[in-house]
Structure 1
Amino acid sequence: MQRFGLSNDNLLFSEYFLEMDEYETQVSLFITIAILAAFAGSKAIYDRYRKSFTKIKVVVVGAGPIGLSSAIIALRSTKVSKITIFEEKERNELIYTSYQITFDDQSIQFLKSLGVDFDNIEGCWKGNYFQTNAGVYMQYILEKLKLSSNKTPCDIHFKTRFCRETLKDIESIQGRCLVITSDGRNGQSQRILGLNDFSEQYSCGAFGTVAAVERADLREIPTPEIRVHNLNFDLSAYGGSAPEANGTPGFSLKIFGNSKHRFISLAIAKCDLPVVKALRTILDRAMMRNIFLKCFNTYKLSSEPLLSESYALNHMKYSPRLFEIKLSQRSETVAYFDDCDMFVLAEGEAAAFLNFHTGLDINPAIRGLTSLGRFIEMITVADTEHAVSNALMYKMKHSEQLFRDFVKNGIREYMLT
């Protein structure tokens, strides 16, 4: 019987080819891995290069404190190539705005990080609060924008109302664009830009009322606020109740605004005290006017003149009843429109406002801007639907958290303590 097999030489020859095949396989695998690594490395370098040079244009609607603060944030970003601001008022009308604005410590530290120098802004300090005229602050920011325009172009269009023709101009902008709407609660830009008009109201857990008085003979000097707590009122002369027994929580009083335009607020946490029920149901304008008058004359600054009854009768504007303090939030504050590669963001009172007195002289909307710089970075380089969604979600979550915090603690922080 014939036997089939391999000689030693044949075995050695076969093993040699097997080793060569294995070697070539390893070399091919190595080369493939090297090519893939080089491609991945090149792609990573390209992505970093592309992202480092990708820019976005920013449009701000409304040159109030929030709009101009937004512009400063955009100016500080390396991702912004140009800033355009639309303001319905003329410049002089803007910088001679009479109302006072107060910055709390958190807002002050944030604005300082953006280069705002409070030592060069006319105003006054009280503890960690800084009071100044809103027009003074806006003039300061306008000057900073002007000085920095050689680095990032900044065009400001005064006496320009935002309308559908303005939108057409924005949609024609080449490249990605962010539009920040900050034209207040009655502004039309959110609707024109396509944000949902629907808003929701939430109770802040308190009742309040507010009065305003203008004294034409005084100058508009920044003035610190005054807070007084646990006040009770005798309403028996108006068919209401006498003061509550000692230890019963009372009203918190706040006097704020500049020396010429003074505001007087009263607030109390939700409760069913007889005095609260009376002030919510009895419609007697003389009763509420006298409460405001006596509160102001008792707790005003020593340098302020007294308010006479006749002056209050003719010049004081006020709510005649206690009402429930609520915060309204726009249901949609950020959106992306793929067809024109445009993001839209609502800030300030365009996103949320209080029916009492927004911020009680303190502008809480500054806190909403603390996430704007990061949001600009995220949307500038967002090149997928997932990245766009992440950026929108980031801003929405931050706004929602601020909103919830204000509903829970805002009135207590700014008024009741």
Structure 2
Amino acid sequence: MKCTEDEITRILHVNYVHVTLYFVITFSAVAVFVGTKTILNKIRRNNAQLTVIIIGAGPIGLTSALISVHCKRVQKLVLYEEQSKSNVERRTYQIALQPAQVSFLRSYGVDFDNLEGLWHKGCFYTRVGIYLEYIIHTLPLYSMGTEINFGTKFSRDIRDTVDKISGRKLVICCDGSVGVATHTLGLSDECVIHSCGILGAVATVEKNNETLVPRPEKRIHNLSFDLSAYVPTAFEENNSSNFTLKIFGNSKCRYMALAVNKCNSNVVRALKTVLDKSMMRNIFLKCFNTYKRSSETSISDSYCLNNMKFSPRLYEIKLSQRMENVAYIEDCDLFVITEGEASRSYNFNTGLDINIGLKGLSALQPFIEMASLAETEHSIMQSLIYKMEHSNRICREFLKFGLKEYIFL
């Protein structure tokens, strides 16, 4: 049967209308799907939140808590501390905050005008208990849910409780270099040890008749020692050892740090290899009485003998870096990170030790943002890489500049 030209035209027109209508419907459906997905993604991103669990109420743990309550992505904060609240607030050692860390803490609301302490050359010196007490009393002022559990050691039972919390979670381990939280959570304890290329020794004298008044540090450079009375070969006319001495701490607990770049001078070899406690004690005694602050009293030989603790010889200063400092546990939608000495520490007291931990915390808020929004395997991995790279950068910078900044400059 042959179709006329008009019938062919009509059939083609009908087919064209059908095809056009099909494409319009398909395009509209795709547009609605994409639009709906975009809106839902935007709603999800705006509402993405997590619960932060912090282990350890030391200066790094409580500073982590302060940063967390400033993050809109954090819906609840839970903190576990093994010691009692009173013991935490009574901690006596002195901390010194560098100007960059003072500025960093100010950005999170730390009011240094209402903190008991001492300013000296841009650094702020205070007793650690005062700083911790300030943050403990500040946290409840924020509207978000905050739960602080003192006298509670993080255990496997608590870990199981954390696993059961609904939604995404972030655990921040701040329980120090000997803490067990990371091991309890399944992270590896493996560390890499870096040499700082510097030898050092430390001493402390507790002056029981003094109170816990903060004191600024004092540095003395290019010291030389004549040890020929102890080791006949340990005498150098050219004074090539170039020791640096630092006196720091509050008025009750006075610390001394002695440091020198690794070298083969006679004096350095003697102080590194000869185990003569009287030699090292005498060095610290003479150093303290010669370079103490003018307002301080000298210490006698007998007082030094009974009240000074010190390194018996020079030792190599090393930085310990945890290999696995961030992880994601898919089964319970849990991120785990380490901060402070749980992440990196070194075997030498400089009085500025807290600053390396605070430098690590500069990445905490961006990481919380990334962890809250990460949905795909790729985005989760990107957040982990960001945290690992930041931690590695902190270690590299410390090895290059840290002790030079804390001791030698």
Q: TM-score, normalised by structure 2?
A: 0.95
What are the Cα deviations for residues 229-274 of structure 1, in whole angstroms up to 9, with x where unaligned?
Answer: 111111111114224416x350111111111111100111122222
- Residue from 55, 58, 63 that aligns with 1:61: 55
What does residue 221 of structure 1 align with?
213
* SS of 1:363 mapped into structure 2: helix
- Provide the C-alpha distance between the structure 1 equivalents of 2:32 and 2:199, rounded to a whole number of angstroms: 66
What does residue 123 of structure 1 align with?
117
Q: Counterpart of 1:242 in structure 2: which amino acid?
A: F
- Provide the C-alpha distance between the structure 2 equivalents of 1:19 and 1:255, rounded to a whole number of angstroms: 95
What does residue 372 of structure 2 align with?
380
Task: Say if 2:245 is the partner of 1:245.
Answer: no
- Residue from 141, 147, 160 that aligns with 1:147: 141
Q: Counterpart of 1:305 in structure 2: which amino acid?
A: T
For structure 2, which runs of at least 5 residues remain unmatched after alignment?
none
What does residue 317 of structure 1 align with?
309
Partners of 1:100 and 1:361 within 8 A in 2:
no
Q: Which moved more, 1:131-140 or 1:13-22?
A: 13-22
What does residue 265 of structure 1 align with?
257
For structure 1, which runs of at least 5 residues remain unmatched after alignment?
none
What does residue 367 of structure 1 align with?
359
- Provide the C-alpha distance between the structure 1 equivalents of 2:44 and 2:363, rounded to a whole number of angstroms: 24
- Provide the C-alpha distance between the structure 2 equivalents of 1:355 and 1:155, rounded to a whole number of angstroms: 33
Q: Counterpart of 1:45 in structure 2: which amino acid?
A: I
What are the Cα deviations for residues 339-363 of structure 1, in whole angstroms up to 9, with x where unaligned?
Answer: 1111111111111110112664543
Q: Give the CA deviation at 1:380.
A: 1.4
Task: Say if 2:274 is the partner of 1:282.
Answer: yes
- With over 3 angstroms needed to count, the CA separation of the structure-2 counterparts of 1:166 and 1:332, relative to structure 1, is same
What does residue 92 of structure 1 align with?
86
Partners of 2:249 and 2:351 within 8 A in 1:
no
Q: Which moved more, 1:56-65 or 1:157-166?
A: 157-166
Partners of 1:360 and 1:415 within 8 A in 2:
no
- With over 3 angstroms needed to count, the CA separation of the structure-2 counterparts of 1:35 and 1:308, relative to structure 1, is same
Partners of 1:185 and 1:349 within 8 A in 2:
yes
- Residue from 296, 302, 305 that aligns with 1:304: 296
Q: Which moved more, 1:214-223 or 1:352-361?
A: 352-361
Q: Give the CA deviation at 1:54.
A: 2.2
What does residue 33 of structure 1 align with?
27
- With over 3 angstroms needed to count, the CA separation of the structure-2 counterparts of 1:329 and 1:20, relative to structure 1, is same
- Residue from 387, 391, 416 that aligns with 2:383: 391
Partners of 1:101 and 1:363 within 8 A in 2:
no
What does residue 212 of structure 1 align with?
204
- Provide the C-alpha distance between the structure 2 equivalents of 1:386 and 1:211, rounded to a whole number of angstroms: 49
- Provide the C-alpha distance between the structure 2 equivalents of 1:162 and 1:280, rounded to a whole number of angstroms: 40
Q: Give the CA deviation at 1:44.
A: 1.2
- Provide the C-alpha distance between the structure 1 equivalents of 2:408 and 2:253, rounded to a whole number of angstroms: 22
What does residue 184 of structure 2 align with?
192
Task: Say if 2:160 is the partner of 1:165.
Answer: no
Partners of 1:61 and 1:180 within 8 A in 2:
yes
Q: Counterpart of 1:140 in structure 2: which amino acid?
A: Y
- With over 3 angstroms needed to count, the CA separation of the structure-2 counterparts of 1:237 and 1:296, relative to structure 1, is same
Identity level (%): 46
Partners of 1:256 and 1:361 within 8 A in 2:
no
- Provide the C-alpha distance between the structure 2 equivalents of 1:186 and 1:104, rounded to a whole number of angstroms: 26
- Provide the C-alpha distance between the structure 2 equivalents of 1:249 and 1:312, rounded to a whole number of angstroms: 25
- Provide the C-alpha distance between the structure 2 equivalents of 1:233 and 1:407, rounded to a whole number of angstroms: 27
Pairs within 5 Å for 1:393-408? 393-408=385-400
Q: What do you get for the CA RMSD once the two structures are aligned? A: 1.9
Q: Counterpart of 2:131 in structure 1: which amino acid?
A: Y
What are the Cα deviations for residues 319-345 of structure 1, in whole angstroms up to 9, with x where unaligned?
Answer: 011111000111111111111111111
Q: How many residues align?
A: 407
- Residue from 71, 90, 104 that aligns with 1:110: 104
- With over 3 angstroms needed to count, the CA separation of the structure-2 counterparts of 1:260 and 1:359, relative to structure 1, is closer
Q: Which moved more, 1:356-365 or 1:73-82?
A: 356-365
Task: Say if 2:335 is the partner of 1:340.
Answer: no
- Provide the C-alpha distance between the structure 2 equivalents of 1:66 and 1:313, rounded to a whole number of angstroms: 35
- With over 3 angstroms needed to count, the CA separation of the structure-2 counterparts of 1:15 and 1:127, relative to structure 1, is farther
Q: Give the CA deviation at 1:146.
A: 2.0
What does residue 49 of structure 1 align with?
43
Partners of 2:199 and 2:260 within 8 A in 1:
yes
What does residue 254 of structure 1 align with?
246
- Provide the C-alpha distance between the structure 2 equivalents of 1:43 and 1:218, rounded to a whole number of angstroms: 67
Larger Rg belongs to = 1
Q: Counterpart of 2:290 in structure 1: which amino acid?
A: T
Q: TM-score, normalised by structure 1?
A: 0.93
- Provide the C-alpha distance between the structure 2 equivalents of 1:198 and 1:293, rounded to a whole number of angstroms: 39
Task: Say if 2:291 is the partner of 1:329.
Answer: no
- Provide the C-alpha distance between the structure 1 equivalents of 2:221 and 2:354, rounded to a whole number of angstroms: 18
Q: Counterpart of 1:298 in structure 2: which amino acid?
A: T
